[in-house]
Chain A
């Protein structure tokens, strides 16, 4: 590959540090950039779990020092607040369960950051995501799963368009994580044994329900039995719940059959949380909106697979697209799928694109579909 001017998004973690090192080894002219995403750095997360603290920025800076590349911090906190944090709150208020990592890749890393990089004369943006890029016979760029399927992060990249993929580099896609850590240690990167980040970077303690309650205020509503329509109890705010949730419902009256209850659906306006037995969570049909295609949208119904959450299992499915509407018929039913989650469509290892789940349904499974 020819020498390019590459900006590497350096979170302060081991993956992006090794990605930067590999970009340097590939002969590129590399600049490290850490994104400041919090308006109050240091308040988002303490310790070494996230990517938003001053400590993380310092870890990224030290990695850049070791690699001998220039390093800067770009302040995208306003964009992150508007496009990711506010979106996250709005989705919960609407009774949906969003994945902010996809939104961040779509709106921040591969939009605000990439646009700025291209404007400043860079050719490409490299990140430490585990995914691979391949050139198709027609010259387009295909996004594929990482070789290490256990670590694969193509799901959170399913929102990227061809134009974004053309300027992307994922240097870690062919390597298992333990090897990346080993390589980091060999290169003298101090983040070699830094723990992976989990959860949502802007929720400091990992308690999403508590964060939402704090930001959105306490509301109130009722729990309703799915079959009888009976009110089973009250709660203080429907946004603290997600479809498929079992724990923390605090319904005093046990089910007549003594089996655990799960959240089946959430109606945000009245804040009604419908609960019922586990089998009622099973769905085999999804309607999706806001499709994002990595290349062309499938013109014919596609027999492929879909993944419905990060590190979730693959479901065989038939995906049909009409304009901005995507219908996913699951051959392997799924459980506990909430509107707002992203369905990423695969053809083999290739990412075709993604959509946001608007509604779910049961067509062929069970007998008590609502």
Chain B
């Protein structure tokens, strides 16, 4: 289609694989061995899995036994939310409330909705301010109203659409005073900001490999050992009886390499991306002065530039940029290819038209200044055209 080189500015969707992960993956793709087998090949596979688990744990300030390997972020979120709800309700049938931010990823929100519809959960979504930051006072008030009835709290580490980093430390302080477990979806955060599970005081944390330079289809729920999660997947009980399914040994090895790499490079990576991102935002605003930057200007993921372009449909802009090889996202979930107005922007107080007028540019390891130049060259005419098409 396009004769232009691809300018990939959608690293929040997925990231190119880093060399160390690629090497770890390909080194094991043709090696036989089920990590549950008792013979030599099985032991070899199990050794790779356990070494990988230890490396992941070390990078995240967790103990190896706390790392439950999953098929990715969605499974980790589902396991955390449903598994914690069931286990807490079993201990005390009165514990049916779940408190979560209104801007959670759909992997959490839809799991909560299901629990409300099918399992009698009472879900309460806590609002955010105009920058997308959780209303901590509201959370505190709702917990203190009846702490004994709260099964769990789930607040993401950083928002996947606008990049706002949530006050997870404050959430943990409030909830732990009442012995309420806290889960955090850190899928976008690991490698972008410092994430230390042990120091955070969290009870459970989700992450996935492909957002930080690893392969698709593997992730983890890091979860405290003393929490008796009720499993979602039953079978061989491979992951401490909480998660069943033959482990993807090459992917697990690559996941570990990617996490280790991402965490080691995090500070330099964040500094480099912030600078590129700030350059992008400044130059786009010069060309489109009425564009609006979304998210928290201070506490935001370094690679995130989320902008609203008044008078434009986000998906028109996306198509026009795509035609020139510039790849970004409207940031919100799609239904059959149609971007829905973002629940995140609506929760931040924007109206539907504003929510539909937004684009998310997310920078990553392979982004360089020429990518920003390409976007800056294209954005002015694209906005003009998208406005014409919307009249």
Closest to B320 in A: A120
Residues in chain A near residue B339, CB distance under 8 A: 75
Closest to B334 in A: A73
Residues in chain A near residue B1, CB distance under 8 A: 68-70
CB distance from A128 to the nearest CB of B (A): 19
CB distance from B162 to the nearest CB of A (A): 22
Contact mask for chain A residues 172-214; partner B; CB cutoff 8 A; 1 contact, 0 none: 0000000000000000000000000000000000000000000
Chain A contact residues: helix, strand, loop or mixed: mixed
Residues in chain A near residue B319, CB distance under 8 A: 31, 70, 72, 120
B338 touches A116 (CB 8 A): no
Whether a CB of chain B sits under 8 angstroms from the CB of A115 is yes
Residues in chain B near residue A121, CB distance under 8 A: 320, 385
Residues in chain B near residue A54, CB distance under 8 A: 336
Contact mask for chain A residues 66-95; partner B; CB cutoff 8 A; 1 contact, 0 none: 001110111101000000000000000000
* B386: contacting residue among A61, A117, A120, CB under 8 A: A120
Instruction: A252 to B185: give the CA distance in the assembly, Å.
Output: 67
Whether a CB of chain A sits under 8 angstroms from the CB of B106 is no
Whether a CB of chain B sits under 8 angstroms from the CB of A41 is yes
Residues in chain B near residue A116, CB distance under 8 A: 316, 389-390
Contact mask for chain A residues 104-125; partner B; CB cutoff 8 A; 1 contact, 0 none: 0000000000011111110000
Q: Which of B338-391 contact A (CB under 8 A)?
A: 338-339, 385-386, 388-391
Instruction: A118 to B1: give the CA distance in the assembly, Å.
Output: 19
Instruction: A120 to B388: give the CA distance in the assembly, Å.
Output: 7
Q: Which of B313-339 contact A (CB under 8 A)?
A: 315-316, 319-320, 322-323, 335-339
Instruction: A116 to B391: give the CA distance in the assembly, Å.
Output: 9
Residues in chain A near residue B385, CB distance under 8 A: 119-121
Instruction: A61 to B323: give the CA distance in the assembly, Å.
Output: 17
Contact A119 B388, CB 8 Å, known A41-B335, A54-B336: yes
Most chain B Cβ neighbours within 10 Å, of A31, A68, A120, A121: A120
Closest to A69 in B: B1
A36 touches B322 (CB 8 A): no
Contact mask for chain B residues 1-22; partner A; CB cutoff 8 A; 1 contact, 0 none: 1100000000000000000000
CB distance from A270 to the nearest CB of B (A): 42
Closest to B317 in A: A120
Residues in chain A near residue B388, CB distance under 8 A: 119-120
CB distance from B178 to the nearest CB of A (A): 41
Contact A119 B337, CB 8 Å, known A68-B1, A70-B322: no
Chain B contact residues: helix, strand, loop or mixed: helix
Closest to A5 in B: B323
B320 touches A57 (CB 8 A): no
Residues in chain A near residue B323, CB distance under 8 A: 31, 70
B336 touches A41 (CB 8 A): yes
Contact A115 B338, CB 8 Å, known A68-B1, A69-B1, A121-B320: no
Closest to A30 in B: B1
B337 touches A36 (CB 8 A): yes
Whether a CB of chain B sits under 8 angstroms from the CB of A96 is no
Instruction: A15 to B337: give the CA distance in the assembly, Å.
Output: 21
Residues in chain B near residue A42, CB distance under 8 A: 336
Contact A73 B336, CB 8 Å, known A120-B320, A120-B385: yes
Whether a CB of chain B sits under 8 angstroms from the CB of A34 is yes
Instruction: A54 to B338: give the CA distance in the assembly, Å.
Output: 11
Residues in chain A near residue B315, CB distance under 8 A: 72, 74-75
Residues in chain B near residue A36, CB distance under 8 A: 336-338
B336 touches A120 (CB 8 A): no
Contact mask for chain A residues 267-282; partner B; CB cutoff 8 A; 1 contact, 0 none: 0000000000000000
* A73: contacting residue among B2, B316, B337, B389, CB under 8 A: B337
Instruction: A119 to B317: give the CA distance in the assembly, Å.
Output: 12
Instruction: A117 to B385: give the CA distance in the assembly, Å.
Output: 10
Instruction: A117 to B319: give the CA distance in the assembly, Å.
Output: 11
Instruction: A75 to B389: give the CA distance in the assembly, Å.
Output: 14
B336 touches A115 (CB 8 A): no
B338 touches A120 (CB 8 A): no
Instruction: A68 to B315: give the CA distance in the assembly, Å.
Output: 20
Task: State the A residues within 8 Å of B (CB).
Answer: 31, 34, 36, 41-42, 54, 57, 61, 68-70, 72-75, 77, 115-121
Known pairs A119-B390, A120-B388 / 6 extra A-B pairs, C-beta < 8 Å: A41-B335, A41-B336, A70-B319, A74-B315, A119-B389, A120-B316
Task: State the B residues within 8 Å of A (CB).
Answer: 1-2, 315-316, 319-320, 322-323, 335-339, 385-386, 388-391
Q: What 4 A-B pairs have minimum CB-CB distances, sorted nearest first?
A: A119-B389, A73-B337, A75-B338, A119-B388
Can you offer 14 A-B residue contacts whose CB atoms are under 8 A? A36-B337, A41-B336, A42-B336, A70-B1, A72-B319, A73-B337, A74-B315, A75-B315, A75-B339, A77-B338, A115-B389, A116-B389, A118-B389, A119-B391
